Amino acid sequence: MNYTFIFPGQGSQSLGMGKDFYENSKSAKELLDHASDFLKINFKHLLFEENDDLNKSQFTQPAILLTSLMAYNTLNELEPNLKAKISLGHSLGEFSALAISGGLDFLEALKLVHQRGLFMQEDCAKIEAGMMVVLGLDDESIEKLCEKARVENKQIFAANYNCEGQIVIAGLKADLLSYENEFKNAGAKRAMLLNMSVASHCPLLENASLKLYKELEKVLKPNFQTIISNVNAKPYSSKEEALNLLKAQLVFPVLYKQSIKTIENETSYFIEFGSKILQGLNKKITTKPTYSLTNLNEIETFLKEIKS
């Protein structure tokens, strides 16, 4: 069996995520406690109690990555010999993939994405940035409308290629709203502004990408297991490649559906850690099954199924 491990990105957060792992897995509990001490963030409060921080990028990103790593640790505790041939993530999830593939220490990965969230928030704080999901339009039509908008001096860019008929665009919130009817008139079933205060994966994050590069230089390992890049949907496994690809990742679109297509013929199962978001997308991209592991029971059920 060939497994591909996949990891969700920003937007997959929810109150209570990871709690089952924390309560039922020694290694997951230890990781959360160590992360809280290392980053001086109360992750028990952030993940399990009502608060205003979970949707702020500098907290959202380490919270999601931590939940994914807790899920991974729990699986590893029960079945240490189950390894992935290749890993990938959606946006932020690429850093989770790096962590489990030996490219980053777990705690350093959490610190890095906390900084990444801060850099992104800083770039977007004064410009009223946002993101919008467009449903029911093909890639080419959306790309042409984004180009048309930029000719009109509007800041609108294709940001996430999630699956057929679903692209997320990024830019200035006012510009996105001004083009809502343009997308609908072109045939979109829906064009809806998302609850986000950053414009990920577009040129508005140029400064953030430069800052991130400097932090990546400090913590990336020289070599690691193969990762599929969000930027070009191609494999990489070295620090030299990672530095340029992860810097570019903040200003180039996420090629998620293309990445899944790249490796589906080499994959028996996709396994998603800590969320069901990518499982939903994968159903629209590939016929290969995706297992989502969001609690201990799902891990135990998954292990029984692959052994039967």
Catalytic residues: 91, 201
What's the CA gap between 186 and 10, in Å, rounded?
Answer: 28
What's the CA gap between 44 and 33, in Å, rounded?
Answer: 8
What's the CA gap between 181 and 177, in Å, rounded?
Answer: 8
- Angle in degrees, CA 298, 55, 89, rounded to 5: 50
Query: Please, which residues bridge with residue 161 across strands?
Result: 167
- Side-chain half-sphere CA neighbours of 272 within 13 A: 23
Q: How far is CA 8 from the centre of its chain?
A: 4
Evaluate whether 8 touches 89 at the Cβ level (below 8 Å).
yes
Helices assigned H by DSSP within the chain: 19-24, 26-39, 43-48, 57-78, 93-100, 106-124, 139-151, 173-178, 180-185, 206-219, 239-249, 256-263, 277-282, 296-307
Roughly what angle, to the nearest 10 degrees, separates helices 57-78 and 93-100? 40
Q: In this structure, what are the phi and psi dihedrals at residue 168, rounded to the nearest 5 degrees?
A: -100, 130
